[in-house]
Amino acid sequence: MLEYKAKLYGRTFAKVSRWFPSSKLCSACGAVTEAMPLQVRRWACACGAVHDR
């Protein structure tokens, strides 16, 4: 349904894998944190960027 609506309105639709580590990925440098328990809500990357999950 979303793919159809995106095409209808001229938008981009990207299907992402269910297991893609998006909440462990730094948007500033692209580094992926190895292990992160679910109770961690804020984390800081080695590049200095601070993220909320």
pLDDT digits 0-9 by tens, 1-53: 899 999 999 999 999 999 998 889 999 999 998 888 989 999 999 999 999 98
Give strand ranges (E) for 1-53. 42-44, 50-52
The DSSP H or E segment spanning 2 is helix 2-8
**Beta-bridge mates of residue 42:** 52
Statement: the pTM of the whole predicted model exceeds 0.85:
no
User: According to the model, what pLDDT value does residue 4 have?
Assistant: 95
Which two structure tokens, joined as six digits, stand for 11?
A: 């938008």
User: According to the model, what pLDDT value does residue 22 have?
Assistant: 87
